[in-house]
Structure 1
Amino acid sequence: MTGKAAWPVLLYVPNLIGYARIGLALVAFWNVPHPATFLTFYTTGFLLDAADGYAARLLGQSSAFGAVLDMLTDRFSTAGLLLLIALQDLANAGLTCNTVTCALTTCFRVTVCVALLILDAVSHFWQVCAATLARATSHKAAGPGRLVKLYYRRSVLTTVCLFSEVFLLLHFTRVAGWSARVETASHMELLWIAAYYGCAIVYVLKQFISLAQIWNAAALLELSCSGCGHVSDAKRP
């Protein structure tokens, strides 16, 4: 009897790891005022993202529920980090801003954080919905977009997500003032700057990939519905 038949989906080992990631994220966000605790729990939860996929392949316990659980955990963790950055920007502005230009700059940065949060959530949601409606075996390989298919190769996906998440963590430590000690240490300054801007480049690339996911999802929906006999509003007489 295979592991998949012997266990209820909710108790698959990869899904148990997913529940642990949710718990670690909650503990991390609860301890935002304590930098070391926050970074320890958040980073541990992020690193476990690789463990659940490995466990699923090793034990033959892949499931649609697990795939959705993994994606939602990633999306909410990233969203929480972006919201923390926005809130920290607002807190910093309340302490230091005394000009209209400063206030507008802060509003712009907060708006960018919210826009990035929405783009990340919407792109993945549309990709999964389009793949489901098209009855694709996985949203990771669905659709005609070459960039999206390249992105979902395991090595590329792992690299892009790792660098993007590290950038958000480094940026949050910067706006929160946690990195001041590192930046002022001459032997660490160059390394920190290289890591920050190197990861920033990958994070910007990821936003273009998110836009490509939206295009890919739209194209996939058109392909899946092209033979279903429906006529779009634009083609109605």
Structure 2
Amino acid sequence: MANKGKPRPAKLSVYLYIPNIVGYMRILLNCVAFAVCFSNKTLFSLLYFFSFCCDAVDGWCARKFNQVSTFGAVLDMVTDRVSTACLLVILSQVYRPSLAFLSLLALDIASHWLQMYSTFLSGKTSHKDVKDSTSWLFKLYYGNRLFMGYCCVSCEVLYIILLLIAKKQTENLMNVLVDSLTQISPLSVLLALSIFGWGIKQVVNVIQMKTAADVCVLYDIEKKQKP
């Protein structure tokens, strides 16, 4: 019997949603940015940060034009995670100890991957739905756009500043941070504000990873209890 409901949109139409096109532009901007990250740090910083700002644009477009899609959500998160991961890898080549940045990379990917998977297991539609969490900081982070924006921007700004102020490829991270913070300048203030927001986001990442892991464990326990 023929389906009398609304016809399914073609796959191409979803790929060409306006927010998804913005996502493709972000990827292109990042590709160009990382291609010049060592030869032209200023251009890299401008392109990378502009791509990061477009993250808010694609979300606005999705709501404005009613073009919210699962593909768009995945594209958005993958672009965010890969972009930050690439920048952390570059910083691990510039600063010592490099393990500090590789550890941040691992925490970022692990916490977000677990959060996405636990969202799927819980039957939720968004990984930002954390109303049932017992952590006030976790709920504040995902419940307040301004607070989450501050933390996310702080992370990216901190990493960009660290790349800009590195003078050689064997910098000691703590020495550079101490020297920059002890100078009375707009850069030192921006660096301090960024470190504070960055710190909060790392705490949230740890909470997110633990909360998501608990959801996975509880899912296993409930599955085994079923007859």
Q: Could you say which TM-score interval applies, normalised by the shorter chain? A: 0.7 to 0.9
Superposed CA deviations along residues 125-150 of structure 1, whole A, max 9, x for unmatched, are 00001111221111111452433232
SS in 1 for 2:209: helix
After TM superposition, list the pairs within 5 Å mapping 1:121-140 onto structure 2: 121-140=109-128
1:228 is aligned to 223
**Counterpart residue identity of residue 110, structure 1:** S
Q: Confirm whether residue 11 of structure 1 aligns to residue 16 of structure 2.
A: yes
2:163 is aligned to 172
Within 2, Cα distance between the matches of 1:70 and 1:133?
20
Superposed CA deviations along residues 66-121 of structure 1, whole A, max 9, x for unmatched, are 111111111111111111111122xxxxxxxxxxxxxxxx3xx2011100000000
SS in 2 for 1:16: helix
Q: Is the 8 A contact 1:145 1:212 kept in 2?
A: no
**Counterpart residue identity of residue 158, structure 1:** G
Within 2, Cα distance between the matches of 1:49 and 1:198?
21
2:207 is aligned to 212
Q: Confirm whether residue 149 of structure 1 aligns to residue 155 of structure 2.
A: no
Q: Which residue of 67, 77, 83 corresponds with 1:77? A: 83
1:67 is aligned to 73
My pick for the range that moved more, 142-151 or 199-208, is: 142-151
**Counterpart residue identity of residue 164, structure 2:** T
**Counterpart residue identity of residue 117, structure 1:** L
1:116 is aligned to 104
Extract unaligned runs of 5+ from structure 1: 90-105, 232-237
Q: Quote the offset at 1:15 in angstroms.
A: 0.8
**Counterpart residue identity of residue 35, structure 1:** K
Q: Quote the offset at 1:219 in angstroms.
A: 2.3
Q: Confirm whether residue 37 of structure 1 aligns to residue 43 of structure 2.
A: yes
RMSD over aligned CA atoms reads: 2.6
1:101 is aligned to none
Q: Quote the offset at 1:40 in angstroms.
A: 1.8
1:202 is aligned to 197
**Counterpart residue identity of residue 229, structure 1:** K
Q: Quote the offset at 1:226 in angstroms.
A: 4.6
2:172 is aligned to none
Q: Quote the offset at 1:189 in angstroms.
A: 4.9
Give me the TM-score of the superposition, normalised by structure 2: 0.81
SS in 2 for 1:204: helix
After TM superposition, list the pairs within 5 Å mapping 1:67-106 onto structure 2: 67-89=73-95, 106=96
Q: Is the 8 A contact 1:144 1:219 kept in 2?
A: no
Q: Quote the offset at 1:205 in angstroms.
A: 1.5
Q: Is the 8 A contact 2:42 2:164 kept in 1?
A: no
Q: Quote the offset at 1:157 in angstroms.
A: 1.7
Q: Quote the offset at 1:216 in angstroms.
A: 1.1
Q: Quote the offset at 1:224 in angstroms.
A: 3.9
Q: Confirm whether residue 27 of structure 1 aligns to residue 36 of structure 2.
A: no
Q: Quote the offset at 1:11 in angstroms.
A: 1.1
- Which one has a larger percent helix, Structure 1 or Structure 2? 1
Within 1, Cα distance between the matches of 2:61 and 2:53?
13
Give me the TM-score of the superposition, normalised by structure 1: 0.78
Identity of aligned residues (%): 33
Within 2, Cα distance between the matches of 1:37 and 1:228?
52
Extract unaligned runs of 5+ from structure 2: 1-5, 169-175
Within 2, Cα distance between the matches of 1:174 and 1:230?
56
Q: Is the 8 A contact 1:85 1:175 kept in 2?
A: no
My pick for the range that moved more, 149-158 or 73-82, is: 149-158
Q: Quote the offset at 1:171 in angstroms.
A: 1.3
Number of matched residues? 204
